[in-house]
Structure 1
Amino acid sequence: MKALVCRQFGSVKDVELASVAEPELTDPHAVTIAVEFASVSHATGLMIAGQYQRRPPLPFVPGTEVVGHVVACGHAVTRLHPGDRVVAIADWGGYAERLTLPEYTVYPVPESLPSTSALPIPLSYGTAYCGLVWRCGLRAQDTVLVLGAGAGVGLAALEIGRQLGATVIACASTEAKRAEALRRGATHALAPEDLAASVKALTDGRGADVVVDPVGGDLFGQALRAAAPNARILSIGFASGVIPQAPVNLLLVKNLTLHGFFFGRYIGWTPTNERAEHASALQPVMSTLLQWAAEGKLEPTVSAVYPLTGLGDALAALESRKVVGKVAIKIKETET
């Protein structure tokens, strides 16, 4: 089968299209998926460079989020069947025509939901939902400030916050992204400049009850100052490339709670591999999110699709900060 293979950590330019053996199905709790599309994220580049939290054994096939259909199941699998349309989270291996992985992070896709609409659900929307609900206890009366609200997990957090009844203030870097945030249901959309003052002006001086931060960098400090007393801060990642230092005195005097949130703990991306342990809690979440998407309550977006040879271009598009939603690699036409 065709696959993109990373033989040494470094540049995406060194990832090559190659012919490799199809994966074997030996685990009774695993399934094999014929991959149609696989998503591309900032973490993809970090993993290829050997700078992500986990370093795959070389050589490896990148790609952690795929959509396609099941072609084979281990004998212990009962919730999935050959022919099922599914979206899945893998450790890696997604940029290949077939992928074998444990069933625990494989989720059925509603028949009416297009493949590219299902693809962003597991990682972006799963992270946003579990962070907002499981960690921050989001309430309908809350005001949520979402940083990086034009792409990926930020856009997902905006939509989920709106769906759960909260007031959402979006912060995005370009006018186009702010316009998209408003179209998706944000009550207000702000530029990063003078963020704290702008949020206070919109909330009668009070600030935001929940802050979602996938950006980090200097914006983190502004977000803390934009937070209301007793607010919950959700630190998801550092798309800016800069890990901020938390001013603990500000957390103290405002009674702020800072939640670090690594969604990877729930999907097997830790040394102890907890995916089976958390599957019973996470699978209903994914079912809800996929159903909301099928009903038009969420609008997961893949704004650009690249060929299997276009991974470098896809990563460059992400780095340009102009992407709305996600970008994807088209692996293969859907088989019947």
Structure 2
Amino acid sequence: MKALVCKQFGGVEDVELATVSEPALADPHAVTIEVEFASVSHATGLMIAGQYQRRPPLPFVPGTEAVGRVVACGKAVTRLRPGDRVVAIADWGCYAERFTVPEYTVYPVPDSLPPKVALPIPLSYGTAYCGLVWRCALTPQDTLLVLGAGAGVGLAAVEIGRQLGATVVACASTEAKRADALRRGATHAVAPQDLAAQVKALTGGRGADVVVDPVGGDLFGQALRAAAPNARILSIGFASGSIPQAPVNLLLVKNLTLHGFFFGRYIGWTPSDERAEHAPALQQVMSTLFQWAAEGKLEPTVSAVYPITGLGDALAALESRKVVGKVAIKIKETET
């Protein structure tokens, strides 16, 4: 079968299209999936460079999220069967015509959802939902400030925050992204410049009760100043490429709670591999998210699709900061 193979850590030029063996199905709790589309994220480039939290053994096939159909199931699998439309989260391996993954992070897709609508839900929307609900206990009385609200987890947080009843302030870098965030349910949309002043003006001087930060960098410090007393800050990534240092004195005087949130803990991306333990709770979360999407309450978006040979272009599009939603590569030759 065809697959994109990374033979050494480095740049995307070190990933090449190759013919590899079909994946084995030795684990009784695993399924094999025929891939239609696979998502591309900032973490993809970090993993290829060997700079992500985990370093796969070389050579490896990148890709951590894919949509397709189940073609084979291990003997212990009862909740899935061949022919099922699914989205899956994997350690890596999704940039291939087929891959095998433990059933714990494989989620059935409703018949009404097209594959490109289903694809962004597990990682982007799963991260946003679990961070907002499990860690920050977001309520309808809260004002939610979302940084990086134009793409990926940030845009998902805007939609989920609206669905949970909060007042959402979306912070995005371009007018087009801010307009899209407003269309998806944000109450207000602001530019990153003078962030604290803008948020305070919109909240009668109080600030935001919950802050979602997938950006990091200098914007993190501005967001702390935009936070209300007793606010909850959710740090989930560093898309800016810069890891900020928290001014603990500001956390202290404003009674702020800083939550670090690594969604990977729930999907097996830690040395202890807790995916089986968290599978029931996450499957319920995904069921809720897929239902909301099917009802039109969420709008998961893949804004650009590249061929299997276009991974470099896909990563460049992400780095340009012009992408709304997610980008993907097309694995299967024919689209459904």
TM-score, length-normalised on structure 2? 0.99
The gaps in structure 1 that reach 5 residues or longer are none
Q: Which residue of 2 aligns with 1:84?
A: 84
Q: Which residue of 2 aligns with 1:291?
A: 291
8 Å CA contact 1:232, 1:259 repeated in 2? yes
Q: Which residue of 2 aligns with 1:236?
A: 236
Secondary structure of the corresponding residue to residue 176 of structure 1: helix
Counterpart CA distance in 2 for 1:109 and 1:292 is: 12
Runs of 4+ in structure 1 off by over 3 angstroms are 333-336
1:220-259 counterparts in 2 under 5 A?
A: 220-259=220-259
Counterpart CA distance in 2 for 1:294 and 1:19 is: 37
Counterpart CA distance in 2 for 1:263 and 1:294 is: 24
Give me the CA root mean square deviation.
Answer: 0.9
Instruction: Kindly provide the amino acid, as one letter, of the partner of residue 218 in structure 1.
Output: D
- 1:333 Cα offset (Å): 4.1
Counterpart CA distance in 1 for 2:152 and 2:268 is: 21
- 1:93 Cα offset (Å): 0.2
Q: Which residue of 2 aligns with 1:53?
A: 53
8 Å CA contact 1:68, 1:334 repeated in 2? no
Instruction: Kindly provide the amino acid, as one letter, of the partner of residue 244 in structure 1.
Output: P
Q: Which residue of 2 aligns with 1:201?
A: 201
Q: Which residue of 2 aligns with 1:18?
A: 18
Q: What percentage of aligned pairs have identical amino acids?
A: 89
Match status 1:261 vs 2:249: no
Counterpart CA distance in 2 for 1:316 and 1:310 is: 10
Q: Which residue of 2 aligns with 1:133?
A: 133
Instruction: Kindly provide the amino acid, as one letter, of the partner of residue 80 in structure 1.
Output: L
Counterpart CA distance in 1 for 2:61 and 2:37 is: 14
- 1:335 Cα offset (Å): 9.5
Equivalent residue pairs, number: 336
The gaps in structure 2 that reach 5 residues or longer are none
Counterpart CA distance in 1 for 2:101 and 2:116 is: 20
Instruction: Kindly provide the amino acid, as one letter, of the partner of residue 231 in structure 1.
Output: A
> Per-residue CA shift, 1:97-156, capped at 9, x if unaligned?
001010000000000000000000000000000000000000011100000000000000
- 1:14 Cα offset (Å): 1.4
Q: Which residue of 2 aligns with 1:33?
A: 33
Counterpart CA distance in 2 for 1:169 and 1:212 is: 10
Q: Which residue of 2 aligns with 1:156?
A: 156
> Per-residue CA shift, 1:179-215, capped at 9, x if unaligned?
1011111000000000000000000000000000000
- 1:334 Cα offset (Å): 6.3
> Per-residue CA shift, 1:19-42, capped at 9, x if unaligned?
000000010000000000000000
8 Å CA contact 1:150, 1:325 repeated in 2? yes
8 Å CA contact 1:214, 1:239 repeated in 2? yes
Counterpart CA distance in 2 for 1:259 and 1:14 is: 36
Counterpart CA distance in 1 for 2:14 and 2:220 is: 34
> Per-residue CA shift, 1:193-242, capped at 9, x if unaligned?
00000000000000000000000000000000000000000000000000
Counterpart CA distance in 2 for 1:140 and 1:176 is: 27
